[in-house]
């Protein structure tokens, strides 16, 4: 008997132009376009196995081994339904195809990074779901077409269907058919973009992005100006910076847009804060690091960006990452040895230090744990279809034990 | 021999609609109108004595006993020059007046609150300077006329020329002649407005407001929208709320404008942060305190506002201050006993507690010192002319020893 099954992995993405606000909460249509860098799946990824089998009772899904309810009309159900509909079309066009669209599916998904890391897993998770179903159903659909469906699972998931530098075009149509992701440039265009994720200890649970962004839409007087007058020109300018591999321009726009996203969150009633004193201290360090570079006649060497939480993501050309790690560790000592996936440091490990001319008074040193961990990664590729050996489902159609 | 001398005191004011940005940095002309509550001089004040004497060599000024240089063309020199010019006009119109405009002046000024309290002393200080010179020179000028001069010392000082609720009309003219303060309502109109100042420990010196606001003017895309489209309607709405003694509306606008001021500071390159984690925790407490009030069918009971620093000023009707002190002290224990100028608490003192239905998890408790002190005050009157017994200058024309 044939087993209809596929496994795929998908990457995390971190936006440079932020998505904040929906014009349609059901279809997940944004109030502005956004742009992100896809991070390398070698380090951070969601992996999903989907199997269609006539012996299954119903659609079921497990996330990190724990079954999640697939609610009627919910985001998971919508994604599965839309993917199944694409398969159905294929089967109707080509009667020789097996009728697997009619079979219930079992889906197992796994993130290789802890939820406690505070990294949004919904983007990579929904992208991996859609990618695995696409492989299961052997759909010819291109990534932009699939991104329309991933978008309905989690808005930013649409950007994880591509590697490299990815724009989510907001679109204009009421049905959302023109609100999808496109590639601005593949990773190969600018592979030198690395990222250092600073996982910041968060003592208090912040406002969820889903509810927070709609409160901003409803109450912030500044958001409309951002949407209409700021984001369109930033989208054009950062796309141009990426095409020209102009890190200075890329960094300026990325930092300005992170700040503006948090500004409109603050302009919300009641105000929303995602950054804390540690986040602010990291900003002060990067601002000073760049100031020294510019004072020495150079250009910006790093860019911070913050999503809906206190973690910093620092984008920089690979050659600067060593200095940045040394800088961060000087102010935020680490309990664990720095995982050094690119071999920047020798046997001696990281030496906490600042570059010459750096004003050390811009931030105060913290104790161990304020920044819980550092993850060094880089721009990466889009979803990968994996082999049977990577299956997360056992022969019984249930998740394998971890 | 006649002694030409006068002493005046002037109050602190805390804005509800924030002043942030100059269209003329020399004349101190703002990019938007602002509105403040004048606080009671019984608790917080600057006191200034001015003496004109032909035996003095030159104009001299002492602040809290320490001589300050009066720089040519500087803000102090400008204020003294403008006041002297008004006196000169009088003397020319009425030749019987003594020609004291020609005499050098000695000026001694004192703040009754420590600089370490982090309260802006420039507003009360320049207002007291102008008020004392006005008394010395026996000028008939009204408070709005004087506010034009105080404005050139420190923008927000113009609002300290009035008691009660005060608007600084931005004006339109290039010479600044229509950029002055007016009374929206005197304290007697709404004496029930009290204020609790939470002095927050600040580990790091923030950006000065003078340089910070101009960076915002130069780099924030959101500021222009605030100036043109948000502030004008808020000025009208909060003036109406004050006239109607509508605390709910007053509180909503005050909190929204504090948030928006900090939002445009964050939208600045590089970003400016004045609030810290303690400031944010106080916001969370007031938001929750108001939430409970509204959930119980009531209206807002308190409004927070933050200037260019981490200190919270909480405005509330007097009847709510007891609950608010108990709430703040529960999360921010105080080293010193609460000074209770209005006799809210009996001999037992403050009992730290939250009101029924309050979700205590909205903030974490801090240790002693995170909020350094609490100051309870209320809406107050405008500058007062004091008697000779309050003089800060001795018979030798030098500051009395403290």
Instruction: Looking at A58-192, list the stretches that DSSP marks H as alpha helix, in order from N- to C-terminal side.
Output: 75-93, 122-136, 143-151
Lowest mean pLDDT among A81-95, A111-125, B318-332: A111-125
**Mutation test of the interface with chain A: which of B17, B220, B233, B259, choosing the one with the most A Cβ atoms within 10 A?**
B259
Instruction: Looking at A106-208, list the stretches that DSSP marks H as alpha helix, in order from N- to C-terminal side.
Output: 122-136, 143-151
Which is more confidently placed, B207 or A168? Answer: A168
* Residue carrying structure tokens 């019987």: B96
Q: Which pair of tokens denotes residue A196? A: 């250092």
Does the distance separating the beta carbons of A222 and B226 come in below 8 Å?
yes
Taking CA atoms, B207 is separated from A262, B308, B309, in Å, by 19, 8, 9
**Cβ distance B34 to B279 under 8 Å?**
no
* Other beta carbons within 10 Å of A43: 19
A224 and A355 part of one domain = yes
At residue A172 the predicted structure's pLDDT band, cuts being 50, 70 and 90, is very high
DSSP H or E segment with residue B9? strand B4-11
Q: Which residues make beta-bridge pairs with A256?
A: none
Region A78-87: mean pLDDT is 98
Q: Which pair of tokens denotes residue B171? A: 């004006």
- Phi-psi domain of A271 (left: phi exceeds 0; alpha: psi -120 through 50; beta: other): beta
pLDDT digits (tens, 9 = 90+) for A310-328: 999 999 999 999 999 999 9
A185 and A198 part of one domain = no
B349 and B289 part of one domain = yes
A263 and A180 part of one domain = no
Q: Which residues make beta-bridge pairs with B107?
A: B50, B61
- How does strand A60-63 pair with strand A45-52? unpaired
SS3 A257: helix
> Taking 90 as the threshold, does the pLDDT of residue A114 lie above it?
no
* Domain assignment of residue A276, yes or no: yes
CA gap B170, B22 in Å, rounded: 10
Q: How far is A87 from chain B (nearest CA, A)?
A: 47
A226 touches chain B (CB under 8 A): yes
DSSP H or E segment with residue A12? none
CA gap A327, B31 in Å, rounded: 39
Q: How far is A163 from chain B (nearest CA, A)?
A: 30
Q: Which of A266, A283, A363 has the CB atom closest to B259's CB atom?
A: A266
Does the distance separating the beta carbons of B270 and A255 come in below 8 Å?
yes
Residue of A nearest to B229 (CA): A221
A160 and A270 part of one domain = no
Q: Contacts by B347-350 with C-beta closer than 8 Å and gap 24+?
A: B350/B325, B350/B326
Does the distance separating the beta carbons of A221 and B221 come in below 8 Å?
no
Q: How far is B268 from chain A (nearest CA, A)?
A: 8
At residue A116 the predicted structure's pLDDT band, cuts being 50, 70 and 90, is low
Q: Which of B264, B277, B283 has the CB atom closest to A263's CB atom?
A: B264
Taking CA atoms, B113 is separated from B41, B44, B49, B117, B125, in Å, by 11, 6, 17, 7, 12
> Residue-wise pLDDT tens for chain B (402 aa)?
799 999 999 999 999 999 999 999 999 999 999 999 999 999 999 999 999 999 999 999 999 999 999 999 999 999 999 999 999 999 999 999 999 999 999 999 999 987 666 677 899 999 999 999 999 999 997 999 999 999 999 999 999 999 999 999 999 999 999 999 999 999 999 999 999 999 998 766 678 888 999 999 999 999 999 999 999 999 999 999 999 999 999 999 999 999 999 999 999 999 999 999 999 999 999 999 999 999 999 999 999 999 999 999 999 999 999 999 999 999 999 999 999 999 999 988 999 999 999 999 999 999 999 999 999 999 999 999 999 999 999 999 999 976
**Mutation test of the interface with chain B: which of A263, A287, A367, choosing the one with the most B Cβ atoms within 10 A?**
A263
pLDDT digits (tens, 9 = 90+) for A238-292: 999 999 999 999 999 999 999 999 999 999 999 999 999 999 999 999 999 999 9
* Domain assignment of residue A401, yes or no: no
B179 and B215 part of one domain = no
**Mutation test of the interface with chain B: which of A256, A300, A306, A310, choosing the one with the most B Cβ atoms within 10 A?**
A256
Q: Kindly write down the DSSP assignment for every residue of B239-299, as one continuous string.
A: HHHHHTT-HHHHHHHHHHHHHHHHHHHHTSSS------HHHHHHHHHHHHHHHHHHHTT--
* Domain assignment of residue B86, yes or no: yes
pLDDT digits (tens, 9 = 90+) for A332-387: 999 999 999 999 999 889 999 999 999 999 999 999 999 999 999 999 999 999 99
Return the CATH number at A175.
3.30.230.10
Q: Is the peptide bond before A270 cis (omega within 30 degrees of 0)?
A: yes
> Taking 90 as the threshold, does the pLDDT of residue A121 lie above it?
no
Q: What share of chain B is helix, strand, coil (3-state, %, to 5)?
A: 40, 20, 40
Give the pLDDT confidence score for residue B116 in this predicted structure: 60
Give the pLDDT confidence score for residue A333 in this predicted structure: 97
* Domain assignment of residue A395, yes or no: no
- Phi-psi domain of A369 (left: phi exceeds 0; alpha: psi -120 through 50; beta: other): left
Q: How far is B334 from chain A (nearest CA, A)?
A: 22
DSSP state of B65: T
Q: Which of B204, B260, B364 has the CB atom closest to A222's CB atom?
A: B260
CA gap B256, B220 in Å, rounded: 18
CA gap A199, A339 in Å, rounded: 14
Residue of A nearest to B222 (CA): A222
A175 and A253 part of one domain = no
B207 and B257 part of one domain = yes
CA gap A231, A242 in Å, rounded: 16
Q: How far is B64 from chain A (nearest CA, A)?
A: 29
* Domain assignment of residue B398, yes or no: no
Q: Across chain A, how many H-helices and E-strands are there?
A: 9, 16
* Domain assignment of residue B13, yes or no: yes
Return the CATH number at B285.
3.30.70.890
Please report, in angstroms and rounded to a whole number, the separation of the first and last CA atoms in chain A: 27
* Domain assignment of residue A361, yes or no: yes
**Cβ distance B306 to B194 under 8 Å?**
no
Task: Give Cα A354 distance to the centre of its chain.
Answer: 30
Which residues in A lie closer than 8 A to residue B312 (C-beta atoms)? Answer: none
* Residue carrying structure tokens 């300005």: A256
Which residues in A lie closer than 8 A to residue B221 (C-beta atoms)? Answer: 225-226, 229-230, 260
CA neighbours closer than 13 Å in the CB half-sphere of residue A227? 18
Which is more confidently placed, A34 or B117? Answer: A34
Q: Kindly write down the DSSP assignment for every residue of A274-330, as one continuous string.
A: ---HHHHHHHHHHHHHHHHHHHTT-----EEE--SSS-EEEEEEHHHHHHHHHHHHH
**Cβ distance A36 to A166 under 8 Å?**
yes
B344 and B271 part of one domain = yes
B270 touches chain A (CB under 8 A): yes
Give chain B's domain count.
2
**Residue count (chain A):** 402
B331 and B358 part of one domain = yes
Name residues whose C-beta falls within 8 Å of residue A371's C-beta, 6 or more positions apart in sequence: A198, A199, A200, A201, A278, A282, A328, A332, A334
**Mutation test of the interface with chain A: which of B231, B255, B274, B277, choosing the one with the most A Cβ atoms within 10 A?**
B277
> Taking 80 as the threshold, does the pLDDT of residue A203 lie above it?
no
Residue of B nearest to A275 (CA): B277
Q: Kindly write down the DSSP assignment for every residue of A37-52, as one continuous string.
A: EEBPTTTSEEEEEEEE
Q: How far is A237 from chain B (nearest CA, A)?
A: 15
B154 and B172 part of one domain = yes
Name residues whose C-beta falls within 8 Å of residue A72's C-beta, 6 or more positions apart in sequence: none
Q: Which pair of tokens denotes residue A183? A: 């590639």
Range of the domain at B261: 193-378
Name residues whose C-beta falls within 8 Å of residue A162's C-beta, 6 or more positions apart in sequence: A38, A143, A147, A181, A182, A183, A382
Burial state string for B307-328 with b = 16 or more CB within 10 A and e = fewer than 16: bbbbbbbbbbbeebbbbbbbbb
B203 touches chain A (CB under 8 A): yes
Give the pLDDT confidence score for residue A201 in this predicted structure: 81
Which residues in A lie closer than 8 A to residue B259 (C-beta atoms)? Answer: 266-269, 271
* Domain assignment of residue B395, yes or no: no
Give the pLDDT confidence score for residue B204 in this predicted structure: 66
**Cβ distance A143 to A162 under 8 Å?**
yes
B100 and B151 part of one domain = yes
């Amino acid at each position: 008997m044939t087993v209809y099954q596929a496994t795929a992995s998908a990457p995390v993405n971190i936006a440079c132009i932020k998505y904040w606000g929906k014009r349609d909460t059901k279809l997940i249509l944004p109030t502005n376009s956004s742009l992100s860098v896809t991070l390398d799946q070698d380090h951070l990824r969601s992996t999903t196995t989907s199997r269609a089998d006539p012996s299954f009772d119903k659609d079921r899904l497990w996330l990190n081994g724990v079954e999640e309810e697939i609610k009627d009309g919910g985001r998971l159900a919508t994604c599965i339904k839309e993917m199944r509909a694409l398969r159905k079309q294929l089967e109707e066009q080509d009667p020789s195809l097996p009728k697997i669209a009619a079979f219930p599916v079992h889906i197992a998904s796994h993130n290789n990074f802890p939820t406690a890391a505070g990294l949004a897993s919904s983007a990579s998770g929904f992208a991996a779901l859609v990618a695995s179903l696409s492989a299961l159903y052997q759909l010819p659909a291109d990534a932009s077409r699939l991104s329309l469906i991933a978008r309905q699972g989690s808005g930013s998931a649409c950007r994880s269907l591509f590697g490299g530098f990815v724009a989510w075009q907001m679109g204009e149509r009421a049905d959302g058919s023109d609100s999808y992701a496109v590639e601005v440039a593949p990773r190969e265009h600018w592979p030198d973009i690395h990222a250092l994720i600073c996982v910041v200890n968060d003592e208090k649970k912040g406002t969820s992005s889903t509810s927070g962004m709609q409160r901003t839409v409803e109450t912030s007087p500044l958001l409309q100006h951002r949407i209409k007058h700021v984001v369109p020109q930033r989208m054009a300018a950062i796309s141009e910076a990426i095409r020209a591999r102009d890190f200075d321009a890329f960094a300026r726009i990325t930092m300005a847009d992170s700040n503006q996203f948090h500004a409109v969150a603050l302009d919300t009633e009641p105000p929303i804060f995602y950054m804390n004193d540690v986040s602010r201290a990291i900003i002060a360090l990067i601002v000073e690091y760049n100031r020294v570079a510019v004072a020495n006649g150079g250009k910006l060497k790093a860019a911070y960006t913050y999503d809906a939480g206190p973690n910093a993501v620092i984008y920089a050309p690979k050659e600067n990452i060593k200095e940045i790690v040394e800088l961060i560790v000087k102010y935020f000592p680490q309990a664990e040895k720095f995982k050094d996936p690119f071999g920047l440091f020798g046997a001696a490990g990281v030496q906490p230090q600042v570059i010459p001319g750096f004003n050390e008074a811009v931030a105060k040193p913290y104790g161990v744990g304020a920044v819980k961990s550092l993850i060094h990664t880089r721009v990466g590729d889009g979803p990968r279809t994996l082999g049977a050996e990577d299956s997360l489902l056992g022969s019984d159609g249930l998740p394998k034990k971890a």
